[in-house]
């Protein structure tokens, strides 16, 4: 699918284009989609335009967001099936209900027994096809309601595990309680769940402190535009 060019005509855009955006922390993927749709429609004078993203990034995460415009929205599934690469930081010593900074810590754990050897060795059990339980604070639907709706209403709901694939899981830095990582994974993998499960596997607790998506398939963050850059250039 062809990447969006600012010289594209309205007809070319409707036929289908892809935009690489470097999503900042604090924005939802939905907000980015709305912003781009509004801007393109206004500047290119298009009345109706389909715009969607090819894989959600949580508001607290940053990094590559692939935006599909016009007929390119029919190809979203192709991007969703591509390998994704994330970097970030796990924070040991406590857990949160959302597995990240969206909620406050609810339990504390010791991390004094952790060291480079047991941290790096423990990554091995998470590589390959594994069973993973999605966070209760997520957009997955169960019985017509999204999981985060159950969580915010403090309603209990049974969450089944799902098979996901983690191709690589590397530790990039250790400055306890912070541990830097790089993960290559397939569709449907929750890095927040990985943080929580990784903490448990080390007889401690951990949550996702920072997350950045650096690539989706062959598309890299280095070729992505910041949202304000896109607005200025269009």
pLDDT per position as a tens digit, 3-26:
999 899 999 999 999 999 999 999
Give pLDDT tens digits for 177-226. Answer: 999 999 999 999 999 999 999 999 999 999 999 999 999 999 999 999 99
Report the C-alpha gap between 219 and 151 in whole angstroms: 34
CA distances from 131 to 58, 162, 193, 225 (A): 21, 5, 11, 35
Confidence of residue 156 (pLDDT cuts 50, 70, 90): confident
User: Is pLDDT of 147 > 80?
Assistant: no
**Using the 8-state DSSP alphabet, how is residue 24 labeled?**
P
**CATH 3.30.2350.10 domain locations along the chain:** 10-81+218-233, 84-216
Q: 84-216 adopts what CATH topology?
A: Pseudouridine synthase (3.30.2350)
User: Is pLDDT of 110 > 90?
Assistant: yes
pLDDT value of residue 234: 81
User: Is pLDDT of 151 > 90?
Assistant: no
Annotated catalytic, 197? no
User: Which has the minimum average pLDDT: 69-78, 79-88, 148-157?
Assistant: 148-157
Q: Where are the beta strands (DSSP E) in the chain?
A: 17-23, 51-53, 62-69, 84-92, 94-95, 107-108, 128-132, 141-142, 145-146, 162-175, 178-185, 206-216, 219-220, 225-226
User: Is pLDDT of 143 > 80?
Assistant: no
- Length in residues, the chain: 234
Q: Are 24 and 228 in contact (CB under 8 A)?
A: no
From the candidates 58, 100, 197, 228, give the one annotated as an active-site residue.
58
- Mean pLDDT, the chain, whole residue set: 94
Looking at domain 10-81+218-233, its CATH class is alpha beta
Q: Are 90 and 208 in contact (CB under 8 A)?
A: yes
């Amino acid at each position: 699918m062809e990447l969006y060019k600012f010289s594209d005509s309205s007809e070319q855009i409707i036929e289908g284009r892809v935009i690489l955006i470097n999503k900042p922390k604090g924005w939802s993927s939905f907000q980015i989609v709305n912003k781009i749709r509004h801007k393109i429609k206004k500047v290119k004078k298009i009345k109706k335009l389909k715009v969607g993203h090819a894989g959600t990034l949580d508001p607290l995460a940053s990094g590559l967001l692939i935006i599909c415009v016009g007929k390119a929205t029919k190809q979203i599934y192709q991007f969703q099936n591509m390998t994704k690469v994330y970097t970030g930081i796990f924070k040991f010593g406590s857990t949160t209900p959302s597995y990240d900074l969206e909620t406050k810590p609810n339990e504390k754990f010791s991390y004094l027994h952790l060291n480079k050897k047991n941290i790096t060795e423990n990554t091995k059990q998470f590589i390959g096809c594994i069973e993973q339980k999605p966070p209760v604070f997520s957009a997955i639907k169960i019985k017509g309601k999204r999981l985060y709706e159950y969580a915010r209403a403090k309603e209990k709901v049974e969450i089944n595990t799902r098979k996901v694939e983690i191709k690589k899981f590397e530790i990039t830095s250790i400055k306890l309680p912070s541990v830097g990582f790089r993960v290559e994974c397939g569709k449907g993998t929750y890095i927040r769940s990985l943080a929580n499960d990784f903490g448990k596997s080390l007889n401690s607790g951990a949550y996702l402190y920072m997350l950045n998506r650096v690539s989706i398939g062959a598309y890299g963050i280095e070729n992505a535009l910041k949202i304000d850059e896109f607005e200025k250039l269009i």
